[in-house]
Amino acid sequence: MAGILILGATSPIARELALLFALDGAKLYLAARDLTEAERIAKDIAIRTGAQAVAGEFDAADFGAHAAFVERATVALGELDGAIVCFGTLGDETAAREDPDKALAIVNQNYTGAVSLMTLIAQRLERRRTGFIIAIGSVAGERGRARNYVYGSAKAALAVFTQGLRARLAAAGVHVMTVKLGTVDTRMTWGRNSLLVVAPEAAARSIHAAWRRGADVVYVPWFWRPIMAAIRMIPERLFKRTSF
């Protein structure tokens, strides 16, 4: 039975991914800042699937606690076979333009926290020469836009980090998959263009299917790949005048 650590387990996509991996027979460690909610999700999944699911608390920005946390999760699972990095936040982009602390908070929650945790996880998987890491990023990292460049820059850095990690771990048989996620239907995105919004359930199924086929990079939904390809082709002198 594979032992899988899900970081940011209370997000809608993480919940759906947890259910899918539980149905595969995996043992789950669901980690989040909100321990009470993570425990509730773990109990629900255990009842619905019969899989073993436990919960733990972690803070992406508490770097000094990460090593002990990964050790606890590994002990609880018996062995760490895979990890899914689902945490992140849009933050207050307007405030981040003026306040360095707000900007750094966005970067820490979306990038540096993930780097710290994935580095520790990668060491374990590389030694075992097996396993996987799935990192959920964003299409916002494809190009810096005026309205969300702090968040976008963190997701861009995450994509480059996972690309390099994938190259490093390939020889050890460890699969690293980068997810470039579009807009997901949550409370934070209510009211946006419904034609470009994906339900968490559909997003999770796409991610799970891409992992099964061994994809390296996947856009979710798929149509964001051609959209972002077109956006990347816009000359900078024109792009900087856009407001989308």
Please list the alpha-helical segments (H only) found in 11-128: 12-23, 35-49, 66-77, 93-96, 100-107, 113-128
Measured distance CA(201)–CA(183) in Å, rounded: 13
Kindly tell me the burial class for residue 29, based on how many C-beta atoms sit within 10 Å of its own C-beta (0-12, 13-18, 19 or more). buried
What element of type H or E holds 238? helix 236-239
Write the CA distances from 65 to 49, 85, 102, 171, integer angstroms.
31, 17, 22, 29
Is 219 annotated as catalytic?
Answer: no
- Write down the catalytic residue from 29, 111, 151, 219: 151
Please identify every residue annotated as catalytic: 151
